[in-house]
Structure 1
Amino acid sequence: MSGYASIRSAQSDTSSRPNSTASMSRRPRRKENGHHGQASWLSSVINLVNTIVGAGVLAMPSALSNMGIFLGIFVIIWSGITSGFGLYLQTRCARYLDRGNASFFALSQITYPNAAVIFDAAIAIKCFGVGISYLIIIGDLMPGVVRGFTDTPAAEYLLDRHFWVTAFMLVVIPLSFLRRLDSLKYTSIIALISIGYLVVLVVYHFAKGDDMGLKGDISLSPDKGIVPVLASFPVIVFAYTCHQNMFSILNEIEDNSPFKTGSVVLASIGSAGSIYLLVAITGYLTFGDNVAGNIVAQYIPSVASTIGKAAIVVLVMFSYPLQVHPCRASVDAVLKWRPAGRKQPDYASANGSPSRSTLLNPASNAQRGRGEMSDRRFAVITTVIIILSYIVAMTVSSLSVVLAYVGSTGSTSISFILPGLFYYKISSPDSPHHQRLLKEDDDEEADGEGESAAGGWNSGSILRKLSLALAIYGFLVMIVCLITNTFFVVAH
């Protein structure tokens, strides 16, 4: 994934390159419609890493035990590459939309308008389910944290999961009402500190050789059969899911140049992949094939391991608002959706190619109310999401089966299928948007913002074929995961 900068087509006619005056006049289009991003590069990376890395990092050693060291490491790296490519395609697709208005819904309006409601519904359900799982984790872990910090019998309510779900809701509710994702950067920093502690805890026990006499065999290759391998595959693949927040990051980042947005993807995926590899390898080498699904729960009860459980609580608590943010946007898009007309007007600029401001049908956008939600609508949708997630978390103690199916469909859709299909459709040579992108890439290269076209990275050749391959890969992952989930449901 070295092609993070915008690269013009090698086959495009050089005579179509505009002069320097025209190029300079196009520069301000990075801040169209009065929209100016305020998020820094670092805060964007922090929020994206926090969206990626969750409590699932503690299941990496168990996944490695089922796959063996070599295959497990390969799958972790491969999953990071494919997810990173999906993020990169999102950065490319966002260039077709007005600055600050990129979203799955907006892209679907110029690619697959009648399927927009399905895409956003899948995203909303996926984020809603993950948010509920975070509340359930808090309710399950906090009684154990209380027991670990006191030698005397605790009050009965302190051991009640319902009390802790309610108590932590008071913390996450104000955070869930923040409009901008960048506003969560400080809570994301706290969450990343919690992740850092968990990583240090796992590495420390490995360095100390603290296996409590439970260490099993170390497998270099998978020797437990195909079923455990397939069962662990979704754990690793879905561990990189963060694509639901990528468009918000692209909308809010101060410098949305291809190099900066590409480096956000590279830094985020690279950081998450490094954390997964470190925890997976050291955790597996500590306990071997006897490693548990949650490695922290396997350590001898102590202050350090109790703090580790508390760190998990802090991590998922501050990750909950990161799920509410895309869920709210998708619910809003679903409520605004209307079937597309039979024929969309062809809006074009004076030079015959569609401008960025007219890529979306203005009449359609006015009808759908494109733009920020009103305060009342924002408050109502957020309140409904919070109340429903609270009710479900209080009444259901396990969503493992439901989340398995939601993850198999929702995560694969937003990570692989949609980015691949969107870019493949929008970059088609027959698309009216294709020529505009080529001309803009020419402008950026003329201004020194692009790279050489050597290597053929252009929207009409290799990148477009790879985007289709990513979508096909996503469908295959979905099928494998659904079959695996069904097998385990029947088996249990």
Structure 2
Amino acid sequence: METSQESINAERGWYVSAQQPEEAEAEELSPLLSNELHRQGSSGVSFGFSVFNLMNAIMGSGILGLAYVMANTGILGFSFLLLIVALLASYSVHLLLSMCIQTAVTSYEDLGLFAFGLPGKVVVAGTIIIQNIGEKKSACREDNLCREAMSSYLFIIKTELPAAISEFLTGDYSGSWYLDGQTLLIVICVGIVFPLALLPKIGFLGYTSSLSFFFMVFFTLVIIIKKWSIPCPLTLNYLKECFQIPNVTDDCKPKLFHFSKESAYAIPTMAFSFLCHTSILPIYCELQSPSKKRMQNVTNTAIALSFLIYFISALFGYLTFYGKVESELLQGYNKYLPHDVVVMTVKLCILFAVLLTVPLIHFPARKALTMIFFSNFPFSWIRHSLITLALNVVIVLLAIYVPDIRNIFGVVGASTSTCLIFIFPGLFYLKLSREDFVSWKKLGAFILFFFGILIGNFSLALIIFDWINK
């Protein structure tokens, strides 16, 4: 039986007025939504901590691959594509917040409920769970750079952290527990990830998110400084000293635009560089003095700062290695500056930044499970702890024992990511908004929806192309 809009409203105890879109937009925060936000967020999280949490949700290990993307698109090509994606991400958040005001709901799942009934709620919740638990492979050239989910982050920790620690050791420490990836992963999950994920509110992670942000800033500063530590082109300079080979200056000229077969991977890579939409509404619920305008400012600030860090790190990484930039930026520094203490420290910082993102991604996944199975139950610490424990066990087991599942999650992840950042916001707005279809907002929602369909299909085609080649 199809669920009517009236029955949905009655079930949630909310009434959506039949006001005109202009009146809805003029209303900064409806009383019903205000009460709900204050009930969930109590005193609220500060503007700064909200920005840090959102930036932590946006930025991940994918930052290591952006210099490679710039090398295959050119400086201006990269800048244009990254700016377009940032603007689209900000606009999709604007649509989400507008729908929250109109429907007086505070979760992505309930927007699906209002738009398409119970099936819509289940689809959105399932999409969030798959996206945040599984491995999102956004058709990047090297899939290890494109994982933005809990199990994939832990897989990176398991494989990379022991090697990063061993670089600081001079003796033979083989067999030590802190050099065994599985043991180290379990200790970290029990001692760090689980306690942080157990926190009842996402706002409490503002401190760890600010630490993750400063790790990313430190990474960017090191990239800038090390640009003058590596002469260009390093390999040719070495050969010239030994064999008197003349220098090839073209290798040290930055390209404003560049197109090759590798350029095709740049679009989906950047399309998911600002994926944070599963965390938007949980952060909105706990924001101090919540309003649509204030949350949009949080989003715009987080996206702008992320854009700045993305662009600067990619630019100076590219200007360091030019056409020889590695698909994983730090590999180039390991090759040309081996045993450099600063580079080794940066690698540890990036790994800890990735680690501190896991609890933040955990919150939307746990909320989605709760919304599906326990939406009508009051909060319970026992249920909260059991769901948190179950999710942590699942992601640890995936990271340790099922690394090859990335091929399955790669296809699904490309679809779920596209849905969350482009398709769902556009589709829901087209369904829920009472504006004329020829209005600017609905036209923008349609463009967002259509762009998501194109990017999703393009990503899947590239993933399948990679499989065939391998």
Q: TM-score, normalised on structure 2?
A: 0.82
27 and 92 in structure 1: CA distance in 2 versus 1, 3 angstrom threshold: closer
8 A Cα contact 2:53 2:203, kept in partner: yes
The question of 1:176 aligning with 2:197 is answered yes
Q: Where do 1:19-168 residues align within 5 Å?
A: 28-29=31-32, 31-33=34-36, 35=39, 36=42, 38-98=44-104, 101-113=105-117, 114-129=119-134, 130-157=149-176, 158-168=178-188
Q: Which residue of 2 aligns with 1:221?
A: 257
Note the alpha carbon deviations across 1:412-437, whole angstroms, 9 max, x for none. 1111111111122111259xxxxxxx
The question of 1:329 aligning with 2:333 is answered no
Note the alpha carbon deviations across 1:148-192, whole angstroms, 9 max, x for none. 111111241332211221121121110011121101001111111
37 and 293 in structure 1: CA distance in 2 versus 1, 3 angstrom threshold: farther
The alpha carbon displacement at 1:279 in A equals 1.0
User: Root-mean-square deviation (CA), in Å?
Assistant: 2.6
490 and 372 in structure 1: CA distance in 2 versus 1, 3 angstrom threshold: farther
Q: Where do 1:472-483 residues align within 5 Å?
A: 472-483=450-461
8 A Cα contact 1:44 1:249, kept in partner: yes
164 and 398 in structure 1: CA distance in 2 versus 1, 3 angstrom threshold: farther
Separation (CA, whole Å) in 2 of partners of 1:240 and 1:404: 18
Note the alpha carbon deviations across 1:345-375, whole angstroms, 9 max, x for none. xxxxxxxxxxxxxxxxxxxxxxx51x75432
Structure 2: segments with no counterpart, 5+ residues = 1-18, 135-148, 237-250
Note the alpha carbon deviations across 1:6-33, whole angstroms, 9 max, x for none. xx97988xxx9x9xxxx99x97555325
Separation (CA, whole Å) in 2 of partners of 1:27 and 1:87: 18
The alpha carbon displacement at 1:294 in A equals 1.5
Q: Which residue of 2 aligns with 1:191?
A: 212
SS of 1:178 mapped into structure 2? coil
The alpha carbon displacement at 1:222 in A equals 2.4
| Higher mean C-alpha deviation, range 241-250 or range 294-303 | 294-303
Separation (CA, whole Å) in 2 of partners of 1:400 and 1:73: 30
The question of 1:317 aligning with 2:355 is answered yes
Note the alpha carbon deviations across 1:375-425, whole angstroms, 9 max, x for none. 232222211110011111111346553443233111111111111111221
The question of 1:278 aligning with 2:312 is answered yes
Q: Which residue of 2 aligns with 1:201?
A: 222
Separation (CA, whole Å) in 1 of partners of 2:409 and 2:22: 46
Separation (CA, whole Å) in 2 of partners of 1:378 and 1:261: 27
SS of 1:38 mapped into structure 2? coil
| Higher mean C-alpha deviation, range 476-485 or range 290-299 | 290-299
SS of 1:67 mapped into structure 2? coil
Separation (CA, whole Å) in 1 of partners of 2:30 and 2:373: 35
SS of 2:102 mapped into structure 1? coil
8 A Cα contact 1:413 1:474, kept in partner: yes
Instruction: Specify which of 432, 438, 441 is matched with residue 463 of structure 1.
Output: 441
372 and 148 in structure 1: CA distance in 2 versus 1, 3 angstrom threshold: farther
394 and 212 in structure 1: CA distance in 2 versus 1, 3 angstrom threshold: farther
Separation (CA, whole Å) in 2 of partners of 1:238 and 1:278: 18
Instruction: Specify which of 402, 413, 417 is matched with residue 419 of structure 2.
Output: 413
Amino acid corresponding to residue 488 of structure 1 in structure 2:
D
8 A Cα contact 1:30 1:256, kept in partner: no
10 and 120 in structure 1: CA distance in 2 versus 1, 3 angstrom threshold: closer
Note the alpha carbon deviations across 1:96-130, whole angstroms, 9 max, x for none. 344xx511211111111123212211110110021
281 and 400 in structure 1: CA distance in 2 versus 1, 3 angstrom threshold: farther
Q: Which residue of 2 aligns with 1:349?
A: none
8 A Cα contact 1:427 1:460, kept in partner: no
8 A Cα contact 1:132 1:393, kept in partner: yes
Note the alpha carbon deviations across 1:44-93, whole angstroms, 9 max, x for none. 11100111011111110011112222211111111111111111111111
Structure 1: segments with no counterpart, 5+ residues = 1-7, 337-367, 431-458
214 and 287 in structure 1: CA distance in 2 versus 1, 3 angstrom threshold: farther
Q: Which residue of 2 aligns with 1:308?
A: 346
Separation (CA, whole Å) in 2 of partners of 1:231 and 1:91: 31
Note the alpha carbon deviations across 1:199-227, whole angstroms, 9 max, x for none. 111111124445571484643322323xx
Instruction: Specify which of 318, 321, 324 is matched with residue 290 of structure 1.
Output: 324
SS of 2:72 mapped into structure 1? helix
Q: Which residue of 1 aligns with 2:407?
A: 401
Q: Which residue of 2 aligns with 1:445?
A: none
Amino acid corresponding to residue 114 of structure 2 in structure 1:
I
Separation (CA, whole Å) in 2 of partners of 1:334 and 1:214: 56
| Higher mean C-alpha deviation, range 145-154 or range 473-482 | 145-154
Amino acid corresponding to residue 322 of structure 1 in structure 2:
L
Q: Which residue of 2 aligns with 1:384?
A: 390
The question of 1:484 aligning with 2:462 is answered yes
97 and 65 in structure 1: CA distance in 2 versus 1, 3 angstrom threshold: same
Separation (CA, whole Å) in 1 of partners of 2:31 and 2:93: 25
255 and 162 in structure 1: CA distance in 2 versus 1, 3 angstrom threshold: same
Separation (CA, whole Å) in 2 of partners of 1:77 and 1:491: 31
320 and 270 in structure 1: CA distance in 2 versus 1, 3 angstrom threshold: same
SS of 2:189 mapped into structure 1? helix
147 and 475 in structure 1: CA distance in 2 versus 1, 3 angstrom threshold: same
Separation (CA, whole Å) in 2 of partners of 1:70 and 1:402: 35
Amino acid corresponding to residue 141 of structure 1 in structure 2:
E
Separation (CA, whole Å) in 1 of partners of 2:430 and 2:222: 44
SS of 2:106 mapped into structure 1? coil
The alpha carbon displacement at 1:470 in A equals 0.6
Separation (CA, whole Å) in 2 of partners of 1:10 and 1:487: 45
Amino acid corresponding to residue 168 of structure 2 in structure 1:
F
8 A Cα contact 1:37 1:251, kept in partner: no
